[in-house]
Chains A and B, each alone.
Chain A
Amino acid sequence: MKIAVIGAGVVGSLIARELCKYDAEVLLIEKNMDVGWGVTKANSAILHAGYDDPVGSVRSKFCSLGNAMYTELAKELDFEIKRTGSYVLAFNDEEISVLHKLLKQGEVNKVPGLELHDRDEILSREPRVNPKVKMGLWAPTAGITEPWMIAIAAVENALENGLKLFLNEEVIGFEKSNGKIKKIITNKQEHSVDIVINVAGLFADEISKLAGAEYVPLHPRKGQYILLDKKLGKIVNSVIFPTPTEKSKGILVLPTIDGGLLLGPTAEDLPSDRKHDLTTTSEGLQQIKDFVLKLVPDIDFSLVVKTFAGLRPESPQKDFFISASRTVQNFINVMAMRSPGLTAAPAIAKYVVEDLIQDQLKLTLKRKRNFKSKREAIKKYTQLSLEEWQEVVARKPSAGRMVCFCNEVTEAEIVEAISRGARTLDGVKFRTRAMFGRCQGGFCMSKILKILERELGTDASNITLKSPGSWIVDGKVRE
């Protein structure tokens, strides 16, 4: 059995890994140069508790389930999660009534531990939030993580279990016979397949159209973000939400897993032809500033280190669309993965493999005997004890050469990231957090460029930031 997953975002990567638990040939095809670089790369990085998904929605079915699965998954795949808990804050009676509704909805959705807190309790846990707050919905299971790291970890583990990964390869067509897909045609080659799982993020509707299967139309909803210096990381301890509106969960204030502070996202619906529009706008950034100050009044915007935008795929139904196609017998859609797609991802992966493929398509997959469930993260040497670190450096001097000073990343970690598949500056950055700190690569970028050059046996001119056209330097100043 040959199963192809199209799209190596967090959902696609987890599906691919789940498939690798069975005796099947698994292909993962991704058009970007690395995994997790589409929708996965830029979102709020939150594990949602699951109280704000409408009862009966597909979202509600998978959110709290996925949330719970992350504890085990993070251990198996060795990525970081922090159960920070979250607050939805209410500042007036109208908002308080929304909190009551969310509490009820959360209880039906089986979200554990929800509580309504009064002003004093909120301020004792979160002393920097606006003291005008009246009530808050506390969700202890909410947390934060690093979405791309989950995709990276899942793919690394899947590769060890036999996955075939095709990066920088775009699906451009399908060859069908008897209502089934026989071959996937990419810009590079053809893959003959038995099952196709479409997890192509923002472009999943177009892939489905190419396959002649059902789909929901997708349009991008843009979210702009502001990332601030670690000096502000402790200004809040948990994820701070405003009271949600019909349209979105609002603009949040939250700590990032590596100690920074993240503000955002905006929610701007774009037409479906703007799926590449990752621009920030002055209006968007201003909107974030204005909004967050109502939640946490003293944020010092001179400590901004980065602004960016992400796109999430939204459908008219505002719900996930996960189903085996009725018209194309061996085609499965996993699309419209808007919020809380990241949280739901592990539950969706399990559902696709166990329920859709085995129960609905009636295809029997046999469990592999020798599936290796564990993956180890790149070792962070600063977390070792002095003695352990000394021992490592004696054997491997590069573990003592600090390359990124802001986030304390050594040369050994960067070399390891490259050996695990980083081919670009962003590839190194998302695997190691080098260049992610307050100087944004000011001190280490040129050094990392050289390490990439050396490890890949190429010239710096061939190394890019992210995409094939995003060159950094072009040739030498003088011979």
Chain B
Amino acid sequence: MKTDVLVIGAGAAGMGAAIAAAKRGLNVVIAERDEITGGILNQCIHNGFGLHYFREELTGPEYAERFREQLEKLSDRIKVFTDCHVLKLGEDRKALLVSPKGILELEAKAVVYTSGARERPFGSLMIPGDRPSGIFTAGVAQRLMNIDNRKVGHRALIVGSGDIGMIMARRLTLEGTEVVAVVERLPYPGGLLRNVIQCLKDFNIPLYLSSTVIEVKGRERLEEVVIANVDEQFKPIPGTERSFKVDTLILSVGLIPQVEMLDGLVQTDRRTKGVACSNIGQSSREWIFAAGNCTAIFDLVDYVTKEGERAGEYASRYAMGERFSQNVPISPGENVMLTFPNFYNAVDDLTLYVRCKKPMEKAMLKVGNFEKIFEDLIPSEMIVAKIPNQKLSGLDRIVVELKEV
């Protein structure tokens, strides 16, 4: 089978990409390994989605539904394959699609890879102790509760105060699981301030900053979790241990872009650990475009949709024969932890996503001839700047800097 554009993954980025490509009149196949489209949005039943994209507040399933409807409207051009895993993608642009309906080889002119991210598992944290049941990543607990309607435990401790961790604290509390604490390694909360208030303060859930889990106990089901304060190098400080009798530990300690299917095909970025891309979503292999959390971990799904649409648009232009010129590398400079995209192509403006290295009250973002002041910066909150083409012309290297002012 042949198609113009193959989109791998039907989450926020993939749906955006498929719709953008179909709107340009191309034939699109979108392969989703889960039973329905929407990706992780389906399990995020809390609100707060769509404020940028739709200027209204939606739940995850509602946000996904809006795009699902568009996929259906464009069904003469978009073939949606769910329950369909892309087993491999070859240099010959052929993908092997595996589903209960059959095994299919599909050849595409361009591919948009939007496989999202996976959660950092418990094992990667190298926490000493037993290996009982009752330890879940936030996403697994969320899926069990929100999709499968299952109670994951009675008393829980949450590690990680990113938005997912805090939202799960509220969700568990509302469903009758007592949340004894949220533990954060950093000296400041990892997620948005609004979530600190709405998910923790409003429910009297204590947040322990500069703290980490140092041991889990329980031969069968989890019985006890020991935490301790950490020093500046995140090393536990002896004598600060505190123990909680809980049967559930929820980990929300970071997402890792899923890039493995493209191993050997494209370059990845050392900092984002995602597919290295230009501002039009093009990877180091010219016919592979990528978007969303498989390129860098984004704060908001709205951004992911935008990036997906852009990648879908340029992938279609590529499929129609357009070729794009040399890219300019973008690298983080002073006070910048990471930037996305990784390359700049002058065919379009630059939407730049930046994470700062440390909290700053006020800083000047400097990129080429572009300057803009930002306030109340924290590493967990992305700065987004739209930088017009002309501010970047003639540069052979773009350094992104944040100067404290």
Contact = CB atoms under 8 A, between A and B. Distances in A.
Contact of A472 (B126, B133, B145): B133
Contact of A467 (B126, B140, B152, B220): B220
Interface in A388-446: 389-390, 393-394, 397-398, 400-402, 405, 408, 438-443, 445-446
Given A282-B214, A400-B103, A476-B151, A470 B132 contact: yes
Given A400-B98, A446-B140, A476-B151, A389 B103 contact: yes
Given A307-B123, A308-B131, A474 B153 contact: yes
Contacts of A113: none
Interface string A451-468: 000000000100011111
A307 B126 contact: yes
A133 interface: no
Given A279-B129, A280-B129, A390-B103, A304 B150 contact: no
B119 interface: yes
A284 B215 CA distance: 13
For chain A, the bracket of interface size reads 35 or more
A89 B169 CA distance: 50
Contact of B128 (A282, A390, A464): A282
Interface in B203-225: 214, 217, 219-221
B98 to A, nearest CB: 5
Contacts of A475: 150-151
Most buried by A among B98, B101, B129: B98
Contact of B99 (A400, A442, A473): A400
B85 A405 contact: yes
Contacts of A358: none
B144 interface: yes
Given A402-B85, A408-B87, A446-B148, A386 B105 contact: yes
A478 interface: yes
Contacts of A394: 102
Contacts of A478: 149, 175
B122 interface: yes
Interface string A345-389: 000000000000000000000000000000000000010001001
Interface centre among B119, B150, B151, B154 (most CB of A within 10 A): B150
B178 interface: no
Contacts of B100: 393, 397-398, 400-401
A292 B9 CA distance: 38
B119 A439 contact: yes
A347 B175 CA distance: 56
A204 B122 CA distance: 33
A294 B372 CA distance: 49
Nearest to B122: A440
Given A285-B128, A446-B148, A464 B140 contact: no
A220 to B, nearest CB: 14
Contact of A279 (B122, B126, B130): B130
Interface string A175-210: 000000000000000000000000000000000000
B124 interface: yes
A390 B147 CA distance: 31
A446 B143 contact: yes
Nearest to A391: B103
Nearest to A385: B103
Nearest to A467: B220
A276 B219 contact: yes
A386 B103 contact: yes
A306 interface: yes
B120 to A, nearest CB: 9
B103 A471 contact: no
A464 B126 contact: no
B285 interface: no
A401 B132 CA distance: 29
A442 B139 contact: yes
A450 interface: yes
Contact of B102 (A285, A390, A446): A390
B109 interface: no
A439 B151 CA distance: 22
A472 B20 CA distance: 41
Interface size class of B (residues with CB under 8 A): 35 or more
B170 interface: no
B130 A226 contact: no
Contact of B150 (A280, A281, A303, A460): A460
Nearest to A441: B140
B161 interface: no
B101 A400 contact: yes
A328 interface: no
B201 interface: no
A276 B219 CA distance: 8
Most buried by A among B83, B132, B148, B175: B148
B98 A280 contact: no
Interface centre among A308, A465, A466, A477 (most CB of B within 10 A): A477
A327 B383 CA distance: 79
Contacts of A282: 126, 128, 214
Contacts of A386: 96, 103, 105
Given A442-B137, A473-B151, A305 B121 contact: yes
A454 B367 CA distance: 56
Given A401-B83, A473-B151, A446 B144 contact: yes
Interface in B299-358: none
Interface in B79-131: 83, 85, 87, 96, 98-103, 105, 118-119, 121-124, 126, 128-131
A386 B124 CA distance: 35
Given A307-B123, A393-B102, A450-B148, A382 B154 contact: no
A233 B296 CA distance: 25
Nearest to A226: B126
B33 interface: yes
A395 to B, nearest CB: 11
A469 interface: yes
Interface string B60-83: 000000000000000000000001
A1 interface: no
Contacts of B134: 470-472
Interface string B138-171: 0110011101111111100000000000000000
A270 interface: no
A451 to B, nearest CB: 12
A324 to B, nearest CB: 35
A78 B368 CA distance: 62
Given A279-B128, A441-B140, A473-B150, A400 B102 contact: yes
Nearest to B174: A477
A227 B123 contact: yes
A43 to B, nearest CB: 16
Contacts of A227: 123
A278 interface: yes
Given A304-B126, A442-B139, A468-B220, 15 more contacts: A276-B219, A280-B129, A282-B214, A305-B121, A382-B87, A393-B101, A393-B103, A440-B123, A442-B137, A443-B118, A446-B147, A475-B150, A476-B149, A477-B149, A478-B149
User: Top 9 closest A-B pairs, CB basis?
Assistant: A469-B220, A306-B123, A397-B100, A402-B85, A440-B121, A465-B133, A470-B133, A473-B150, A470-B220
Interface of A: 226-227, 231, 276, 278-282, 284-285, 301-308, 382, 386, 389-390, 393-394, 397-398, 400-402, 405, 408, 438-443, 445-446, 449-450, 460, 464-478
21 contacts: A280-B129, A302-B124, A303-B124, A305-B123, A305-B124, A307-B126, A386-B103, A397-B100, A438-B260, A439-B119, A460-B150, A465-B133, A466-B220, A470-B134, A470-B220, A473-B144, A474-B151, A474-B154, A477-B149, A477-B150, A477-B151
